[in-house]
């Protein structure tokens, strides 16, 4: 089977053919670090993390780069509003970004270039564009001449003459220096009190678009395999990146352009102006009435994102979030099956300190579950189809757990259940969905109230002794004590008692 992905540039779904066989160079447009990340960021970076993980699972050597825009008008405005140094603002929100992404189980990029650290490369690229006639300087500013690039508008499907007509009447006084209304700034002359860098055109700072062109080239080379970002970046940001990079190169900037869909809130596009703007940390840290006052689990948010095809819009509603939380509980129960029942099923590796680590698991590539999962994901990273396979496995394991609790005997051979569990754990990790008990050591695992497995077993032994002595009051007291701490006992024939964490 070949992996196919939708290319915004060609508007078709085509097989992945990389520049270097077996290698994938990916660049993702990162955040402008002036505020906390919102749900749109969560959607975008969960999706690209999923793409990266799947490519690695398929055997590709992936190099993943994501930039920080750390000089921008929004950053300077935030600094002015808070009375902070602009660099303190960027550092604060870079750290906040890293914390938010870690909660969502998003792998760190291989490199996080910053615009302020790429100034020599940015200036050199602008100089090359100017020398080739694609850029012109006016009073310390430098603009890109869009008319000099014949294929401008190809990515977004816009024609230059139509865009020019649409821009008429909206030209500001500051734009009178431009030779064409759609020409965009490569370098901006310094303003009083603002940070600046020396350049051949005088002190100033770069435009937004040129930063990414320079950082892509600096980190990954002239041609990469996949360039990613939100749908809102198709025009003008990615269109301008292509114009800048390909004007000075003999190769295309990226073979494939991938864009994720928008996040809507109650049917409307999320925006600060509409008052429906929600940050990741607000969502995860605020008790929600729809969840009976509980907070949303980070993996439930990740699952919510992956339940939609990445190119389609998703609608954030109370009902959708409640459903995602409930679905995550089902999946989590399946992912924790081995920790809950491995001892009872006499799995030989249950006491291994590395138990549950997918790196130590070997699942059959030819199994029906793996084949169906791969078929879905090979079709433009169809995560909803992949989740169908995961939920089937999780529900089967949950059913097996219930039978074990109530009958004491598994519904299938122990090794078959172990294979199903390992398949679930490995495939779920490809989507970044992971669950661990609070303490993976089966002798010390607890339910969050300090009651370990060994303590539970000791209380059950005390209860058994009380029952044998016909001290039923003490037996009931011990049963009620366990129940109060979330432990349900199931008495079976032959004097055997199993227990379940509620």
Q: Which residues are within 8 A (CB) of 283 and not within 5 positions of it... i.e. 6 or more apart?
A: 39, 296, 301
pLDDT for residue 227 is more than 90: yes
* Poorest-pLDDT segment among 317-331, 397-411, 442-456: 442-456
pLDDT for residue 162 is more than 90: no
pLDDT for residue 485 is more than 80: no
pLDDT for residue 320 is more than 60: yes
> Mean pLDDT in the chain?
91
Q: Per-residue pLDDT averaged across 40-57, rounded? A: 97
Q: How far apart are CA 375 and CA 377, in angstroms?
A: 6
**Choice between 461 and 18, residue whose per-residue pLDDT is larger:** 18
| The pLDDT of residue 224 | 98
Residue 27, SS3? strand
Q: How far apart are CA 120 and CA 358, in angstroms?
A: 43
Q: Per-residue pLDDT averaged across 140-147, rounded? A: 97
% of the chain beyond a pLDDT of 90: 73
% of the chain beyond a pLDDT of 70: 94
Question: pTM here?
Answer: 0.86
Angle subtended at Cα 98 by Cα 330 and Cα 117, rounded to the nearest 5 degrees: 150
pLDDT for residue 420 is more than 50: yes
pLDDT confidence tier of residue 271, bands split at 50, 70 and 90: confident
pLDDT confidence tier of residue 440, bands split at 50, 70 and 90: very low
For residue 246 the two structure tokens come to 């390909």
| The pLDDT of residue 469 | 73
**Choice between 417 and 352, residue whose per-residue pLDDT is larger:** 417
DSSP 183-248: -EEEEEE--TTS--B--TT-SEEE-HHHHHHHHHHHHH-S-EEEEEEEGGGIIIIIHHHHHHHHTS
Buried b (16+ CB within 10 A) or exposed e, 330-362: ebbbbbbbbbbbbeebebeebeeeebbeeeebe
pLDDT confidence tier of residue 445, bands split at 50, 70 and 90: very low
Q: Per-residue pLDDT averaged across 125-152, rounded? A: 97
For 387-411, how does the pLDDT look when each residue is reduced to its tens digit (9 = 90+)? Answer: 999 999 999 999 999 888 888 777 7
pLDDT confidence tier of residue 441, bands split at 50, 70 and 90: very low
Q: How far apart are CA 301 and CA 327, in angstroms?
A: 11
Residue 49, preceding peptide bond in cis (omega within 30° of 0) = no
Q: How far apart are CA 341 and CA 347, in angstroms?
A: 9
pLDDT for residue 11 is more than 60: yes
> Is residue 333 within 8 Å of 282, Cβ to Cβ?
no
Q: How far apart are CA 458 and CA 498, in angstroms?
A: 13
Cα 165 to Cα 94, 107, 168, 233, 244: the distances in Å are 40, 44, 5, 21, 23
**Secondary structure letter of residue 160 according to DSSP:** H
The DSSP H or E segment spanning 256 is strand 254-260
Find tokens 């892509």 and name the residue. 216
Superfamily for 22-130+207-264? HUPs (3.40.50.620)
> Is residue 379 within 8 Å of 385, Cβ to Cβ?
yes
Q: How far apart are CA 2 and CA 374, in angstroms?
A: 10
pLDDT for residue 170 is more than 50: no
Beta partners for residue 13, in sequence order: 6
> Is residue 358 within 8 Å of 295, Cβ to Cβ?
no
| The pLDDT of residue 41 | 96
pLDDT for residue 444 is more than 60: no
For 272-305, how does the pLDDT look when each residue is reduced to its tens digit (9 = 90+)? Answer: 777 778 999 999 999 999 999 999 999 999 999 9
pLDDT for residue 442 is more than 70: no
For residue 328 the two structure tokens come to 């995550």
Q: Which long-range contacts (CB under 8 A, 24 or more apart) does 461-469 make?
A: 463/489, 463/497, 464/495, 464/497
For 50-103, how does the pLDDT look when each residue is reduced to its tens digit (9 = 90+)? Answer: 999 999 999 999 999 999 999 999 999 999 999 999 999 999 999 999 999 999
Q: Per-residue pLDDT averaged across 199-203, rounded? A: 98
| The pLDDT of residue 317 | 92
- Alpha-carbon torsion (207, 209, 211, 213), positive or negative: negative
Q: Per-residue pLDDT averaged across 177-188, rounded? A: 95
Kindly list the domain boundaries of the chain, sorted by start residue. Answer: 22-130+207-264, 336-442, 453-501
pLDDT for residue 244 is more than 90: yes
pLDDT for residue 33 is more than 60: yes
Residue from 434, 438, 422 nearest 306 by CA: 434
Q: Per-residue pLDDT averaged across 349-353, rounded? A: 85
Q: How far apart are CA 220 and CA 45, in angstroms?
A: 19
Fold designation for 336-442: 1.20.120
């Amino acid at each position: 089977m070949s992996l196919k992905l939708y290319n915004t540039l060609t508007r078709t779904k085509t097989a992945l053919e990389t520049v270097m066989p077996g290698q994938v160079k990916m660049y993702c447009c990162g955040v402008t670090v002036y505020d906390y990340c919102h749900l749109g960021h969560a959607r975008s970076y969960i999706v690209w993390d999923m793409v990266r993980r799947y490519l690695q699972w398929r055997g590709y050597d992936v190099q993943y780069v994501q930039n920080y825009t750390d000089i921008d008008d929004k950053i300077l405005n935030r600094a002015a509003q808070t009375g902070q140094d602009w660099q303190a603002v960027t550092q604060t929100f870079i750290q906040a970004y890293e914390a938010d992404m870690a909660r969502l189980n998003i792998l760190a990029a291989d490199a996080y270039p910053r615009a302020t650290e790429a100034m020599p490369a940015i200036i050199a690229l602008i100089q090359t564009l100017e020398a080739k006639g694609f850029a012109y300087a006016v009073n310390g500013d430098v603009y890109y001449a869009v008319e000099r690039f014949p294929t401008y508008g190809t990515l977004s499907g816009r024609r230059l003459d139509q865009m020019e007509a649409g821009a008429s009447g909206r030209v500001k006084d500051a734009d009178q220096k431009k030779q064409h209304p759609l020409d965009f700034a490569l370098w901006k002359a310094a303003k009083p009190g603002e940070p600046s860098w020396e350049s051949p055109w005088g002190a100033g700072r770069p435009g937004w678009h040129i930063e990414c062109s320079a950082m892509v080239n600096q980190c990954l080379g002239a041609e990469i395999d996949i360039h990613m970002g939100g749908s809102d970046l198709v025009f003008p940001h990615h269109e301008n990146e292509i114009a800048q990079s390909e004007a000075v190169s003999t190769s295309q900037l990226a073979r494939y352009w991938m864009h994720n869909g928008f996040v809507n809130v109650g049917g409307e596009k999320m925006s600060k102006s509409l008052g429906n703007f929600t940050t990741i940390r607000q969502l995860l840290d605020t008790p929600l009435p729809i969840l009976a006052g509980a907070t949303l689990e980070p993996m439930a948010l990740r699952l919510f994102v992956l339940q939609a095809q990445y190119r389609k819009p998703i609608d954030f509603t109370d009902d959708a979030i409640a459903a995602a939380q409930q679905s995550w509980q089902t999946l989590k129960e399946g992912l924790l099956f081995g920790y809950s029942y491995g001892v009872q099923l006499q799995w030989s590796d249950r006491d291994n300190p590395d138990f549950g680590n997918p790196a130590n698991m070997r699942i059959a590539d030819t199994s029906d579950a793996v084949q169906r999962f791969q078929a879905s994901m090979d079709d433009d990273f169809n995560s909803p189809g992949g989740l169908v396979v995961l939920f089937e496995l999780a529900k089967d394991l949950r059913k097996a757990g219930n039978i074990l609790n109530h009958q004491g005997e598994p519904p299938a051979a122990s090794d078959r259940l172990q294979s199903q569990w390992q398949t679930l754990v490995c495939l779920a990790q490809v989507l970044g969905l992971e669950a661990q008990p609070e303490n993976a050591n089966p002798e010390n695992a607890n339910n969050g109230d300090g009651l370990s497995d060994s303590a539970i077993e000791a209380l059950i032994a005390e209860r058994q002794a009380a029952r044998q002595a016909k001290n039923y009051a003490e037996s009931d007291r011990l049963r009620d004590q366990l129940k109060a701490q979330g432990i349900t006992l199931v008495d079976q024939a032959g004097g055997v008692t199993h227990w379940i964490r509620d």
